Structure 1
Amino acid sequence: MTMPTSTTGATPAAQPTQPTAAAAGTAGSVAAGTGSAVELAGVSRWYGNVVAVNDISMTLGAGVTGLLGPNGAGKTTLLHMMAGFLAPSRGSVTVDGEPTWRNPGVYRKLGLVSEREAVHGFLTAYEFVLASARLHGLPDPAAAARRAIELVEMTSAQDRRIGTYSKGMRQRTRVAAALVHDPAVLLLDEPFNGMDPRQRMHMMTLLHSLGDAGRTILFSSHILEEVEQVSGTVQVMVAGRLAASGDFRTIRRLMTNRPHVFAVQSSDDRALAVALVRHDSVTGVDLVKGGGLTVRAGDYGSFTRALPRIALTEGIRVHRLLPSDESLESVFSYLVEA
């Protein structure tokens, strides 16, 4: 099988063991004057004989995209190239057609929250965000700082020194500093680290609203639940390569080398099981204690088309049909194992 296409149809280097994913795209078209396109074309980065990022091509537009991968997959290296901190060893990284490397002007439209903390504990949150606003040359840095702090719900603690904050509060302060100049592109490396459940939910809501407003947002994570809740669109990195790209449910359905698992409930589970095992698309059926069936199918489309016909022929009413292995956790496990 071939490597999946990126969000705009660009095809990275082939890997026969990986699925082909549809070009699902990002969460909408770029809004006028707000969103920007980030494009990577054949990007690689190596350190001596160690290849950290290997021939990645993708285009990101307005909306929220999750960059998913295990620790050591190359996510941080990729983000640093997007932010202009690292030069690609090969290929190009651009924002609206402008290279990010050695181009300070790109920071007018780009905000970054790195994984490594770089905050001075003797400053207050307001002072830290205000310094960022001044560095960007904003016409009213004080007002911009107050708006950004309010956006991340840090107003009540803005005059306390950062050294007294919890990790989650420091993270939110850093996000405020990255948002103070209202960037069209926001890059976040493990942004939910240290946040409590309430802070995490608020940050997820904030990212959704920024994406809906036309911002281009890419955030990395190795925690599947975070990516699943914030964005259905994913870029999956494994061992420095782009393993899959697009909506993770679509990616799963295109994995024709993996059996698909369905949970089925009907008016007569036993009779339905007998009828299903005779169909070519079905590789196995198990009766579930307490009711229902677990059906393993070799072909997603063939099975879902056949089930209504089989049920109608047998006089059985299907109450429930649910793919039980289309979670991001399942998709990620399949990709890593491949």
Structure 2
Amino acid sequence: MTNTTRWYGNVVAVNDITMTLGPGVTGLLGPNGAGKSTLLHMISGFLAPSRGTVTVGGVAPWRNPDIFRTVGLVPERDSVYAFLTAREFVTASAKLHRLPDPEAATRRALDMVELVEVADRPIDTYSKGLRQRAKVAAALVHDPAVLLLDEPFNGMDPRQRLHMMDLLKRLGGEGRVILFSSHILEEVERLADTVQVVVAGRLAASGDYRSIRRLMTTRPHVFVLRTTDDRALAKALIESPAVQGVELTRGGLEVHASDHGTFTRQLARISRDAGVGLREVIPADESLESVFAYLVGA
């Protein structure tokens, strides 16, 4: 995806985004209306870019039905026929892909999402979580190299979510390109190797979220230290140019550092010279939640 823009009338949904996805699991993050679904639909060939280019394996997906052999899409909205059973629904997808043995492919896909036991029930008897798994099975039936999922964990109970995360992690580990959007940051943090953060249609950040946080030089990095003498270390640290402030709290010594690398390199020496033992050093604001909040201005 290079300098890609998509607008609807006067509304710009995606604005000049350049993004490259490789094997593994990538999380797509952004507030509601940021352009995440539009991005997924352009990559899968259901929408044309208004400007710029989108390619999958070097081929433009728009008006290219052959791309559906490579890509599997799980849309956020229900795209299932409620009167069908899950087995019938997934088999129909297998036949549309003209697989040589659609029944065997269906059994494999249903087993991957743990839906075999209820596969012969009509989909309109399913919970939201079961319908999500039926959609994932249909997207996986042709063994795609690229899997795109829009809020795939909606409606799933905790056990189903853990299983789906394990499945996506395994598929990514096998060399597939997995891109999924989710508003549940904990799931993205546990599952994604990298993140793409979209804010107001623009790409705000890309890569490992810890690395992204460390590049945010305009915000102090917060650490909580547990030591043998918090007061003595606080006095020594405040003299360091890399430290903006220290605070004694019940949880330990909270330090605000202006430079992550300089502070972490100097900390051991400063504590040694002060005669203070370090018991624990915890980066307090390197979670995906804090990084996301900083990027979207929350």
Which bin holds the TM-score, normalised by the shorter protein?
over 0.9
TM-score by length of 2: 0.99
> Given the alignment of the two structures, is residue 200 of structure 1 paired with residue 145 of structure 2, yes or no?
no
SS of match in other structure, 1:105: helix
1:201-256 Cα offsets, whole Å, 9 max, x none, are: 00000000000011100001122112111113100000000000000000000000
Which among 56, 64, 68 is matched to residue 17 of structure 2? 56
d(CA) in 1 for partners of 2:26, 2:184: 14
SS of match in other structure, 2:17: strand
Gap change, CA 1:326 and 1:232, over 3 Å in 2: farther
Q: Which runs of structure 2 are paired with 1:277-316 in the superposition (5 Å)?
A: 277-289=238-250, 292-316=252-276
CA-based RMSD: 0.9
Which amino acid counterpart does residue 327 of structure 1 have in structure 2?
S
Q: Which residue of 2 aligns with 1:223?
A: 184
d(CA) in 2 for partners of 1:53, 1:222: 18
> Given the alignment of the two structures, is residue 148 of structure 1 paired with residue 109 of structure 2, yes or no?
yes
d(CA) in 2 for partners of 1:90, 1:231: 29
> Given the alignment of the two structures, is residue 336 of structure 1 paired with residue 277 of structure 2, yes or no?
no
Q: Is the 8 A contact 1:272 1:311 kept in 2?
A: yes
Which among 119, 124, 128 is matched to residue 167 of structure 1? 128
d(CA) in 2 for partners of 1:226, 1:78: 20
Which among 306, 313, 317 is matched to residue 277 of structure 2? 317
d(CA) in 2 for partners of 1:188, 1:86: 16
> Given the alignment of the two structures, is residue 109 of structure 1 paired with residue 70 of structure 2, yes or no?
yes
Q: Which residue of 2 aligns with 1:120?
A: 81
Q: Is the 8 A contact 2:24 2:193 kept in 1?
A: no
d(CA) in 2 for partners of 1:304, 1:331: 19
> Given the alignment of the two structures, is residue 183 of structure 1 paired with residue 144 of structure 2, yes or no?
yes
Aligned residues: 298
1:121 deviates by: 1.0
d(CA) in 1 for partners of 2:56, 2:258: 42
> Given the alignment of the two structures, is residue 266 of structure 1 paired with residue 243 of structure 2, yes or no?
no
Which amino acid counterpart does residue 128 of structure 2 have in structure 1?
K
Q: Is the 8 A contact 1:232 1:248 kept in 2?
A: no
Q: Which residue of 1 aligns with 2:51?
A: 90
List alignment gaps of at least 5 residues for structure 2.
Answer: none
- 4+ residue runs over 3 A deviation: none
Which among 60, 63, 68 is matched to residue 99 of structure 1? 60
SS of match in other structure, 1:173: helix
1:20-57 Cα offsets, whole Å, 9 max, x none, are: xxxxxxxxxxxxxxxxxxxx011000112111000001
1:308 deviates by: 1.0
1:328 deviates by: 0.3
Q: Which residue of 2 aligns with 1:249?
A: 210
Which amino acid counterpart does residue 234 of structure 1 have in structure 2?
V
Which amino acid counterpart does residue 211 of structure 1 have in structure 2?
G
Once the two structures are overlaid, the 10-residue window that deviates more, 178-187 or 299-308, is: 299-308
Q: Is the 8 A contact 2:44 2:61 kept in 1?
A: yes
Which amino acid counterpart does residue 163 of structure 1 have in structure 2?
D
1:330 deviates by: 0.3
Q: Which residue of 2 aligns with 1:131?
A: 92
1:190 deviates by: 0.4
d(CA) in 2 for partners of 1:99, 1:49: 25
SS of match in other structure, 2:84: coil
